[in-house]
């Protein structure tokens, strides 16, 4: 097999982030007190290869979304550096596209019109139409172009959002628990499609999930974060072909290890 030369796409060094806690009532144990400075990301250092699929796993509230927002340039940091292509990150880029867990489609636009938003920079109308058609087909939404979001299933909505993100030809695709709200079977289908999409596009994907198995199915690299303040518990490269059977071989061992690390048993 041809070995691709691996270049570093993202380098995060000594990243720290604190928030000022505004809530006066404590809802969870370990939460920060009102008006206290609350450490969320504690000295994170890691790198991500160009064109790789990196998954971040960690307990709810540990700082995963905050981390991705900082790398995307939407959120400030307190300490440390974020380098993208060797350059210090200053501001968001239109080539860094986010897909969130919540419904991100415009409800008053059809599936076609929503995907078209991602294609607005393509000036040639013929090329634009062609690209929209291709991307709708790619995500399996052909025949549903004229449907509004409320007429689409949860999975179809996610597909439309993925199409809208891909049509931008992102350099980095940020996905924050994109399939978290889907039913189990649809989630598995979407995972499979993400693996296919990743082989077709030369983009770096940063993917947040709280699902350990999802991370192991998808990632070339899995970064396991601790409870807040998030520290890196494990940073694992997964050089296994797809589709992956998580129940045997060394990937099963890695899976067990991550479950234990998160205080869980892999076979409940």
Ligand X SMILES: Nc1ncnc2c1ncn2[C@@H]1O[C@H](COP(=O)(O)OP(=O)(O)O)[C@@H](O)[C@H]1O
The residues binding ligand X (CB under 6 A) are 19, 40, 58, 60-66, 228
Least distance to Mg ion from the beta carbon of 133, Å? 33
Least distance to ligand X from the beta carbon of 255, Å? 21
Is the sign of the CA dihedral 160, 162, 165, 166 positive or negative? negative
Least distance to ligand X from the beta carbon of 58, Å? 6
Nearest to ligand X of 145, 211 (CB atom): 211
CB neighbourhood size of 81 (10 A): 13
Nearest to ligand X of 33, 127 (CB atom): 33
Per-residue string for binding with Mg ion, 220-259, x by CB under 5 A? ----------------------------------------
Least distance to ligand X from the beta carbon of 225, Å? 7
Is the sign of the CA dihedral 130, 50, 233, 25 positive or negative? negative
Among 52, 54, 65, 217, binds Mg ion (CB under 5 A): 65
66 contributes a contact to Mg ion by CB under 5 A: no
Nearest to ligand X of 74, 259 (CB atom): 74
Contacts 24+ apart (CB under 8 A), 178-184: 178/99, 178/100, 178/101, 178/207, 179/209, 179/214, 180/101, 180/209, 180/210, 180/211, 181/101, 181/102, 181/154, 182/154, 182/155, 182/158, 183/154, 183/155
């Amino acid at each position: 097999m041809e070995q691709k030369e691996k270049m570093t796409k993202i380098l995060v060094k000594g990243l720290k982030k604190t928030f000022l806690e505004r809530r006066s009532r404590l809802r969870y144990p370990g939460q920060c007190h009102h008006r206290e400075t609350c450490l969320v990301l504690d000295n994170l250092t890691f790198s991500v290869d160009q064109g790789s699929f990196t998954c971040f796993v960690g307990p709810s509230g540990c700082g995963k979304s905050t981390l991705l927002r900082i790398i995307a340039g939407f959120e400030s940091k307190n300490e440390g550096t974020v380098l993208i292509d060797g350059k210090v990150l200053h501001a968001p880029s239109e080539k860094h596209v986010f897909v969130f867990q919540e419904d991100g489609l415009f409800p008053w636009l059809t599936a076609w019109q929503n995907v078209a938003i991602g294609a607005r920079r393509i000036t040639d109308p013929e090329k634009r139409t062609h690209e929209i058609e291709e991307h709708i087909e790619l995500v399996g939404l052909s025949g549903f172009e004229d449907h509004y979001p409320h007429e689409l299933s949860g999975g179809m909505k996610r597909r439309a959002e993925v199409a809208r993100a891909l049509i931008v030809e992102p350099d980095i695709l940020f996905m924050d628990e994109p399939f978290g709200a889907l039913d189990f079977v649809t989630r598995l289908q979407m995972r499979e499609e993400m693996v296919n999409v990743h082989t077709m596009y030369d983009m770096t994907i940063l993917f947040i999930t709280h699902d350990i198995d999802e991370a192991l199915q998808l990632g070339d690299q899995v970064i396991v974060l601790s409870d807040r303040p998030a520290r890196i518990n494990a940073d694992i490269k997964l050089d296994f072909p797809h589709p992956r059977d998580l129940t045997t071989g060394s990937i099963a061992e890695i899976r067990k290890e991550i479950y234990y690390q998160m205080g869980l048993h892999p076979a409940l």
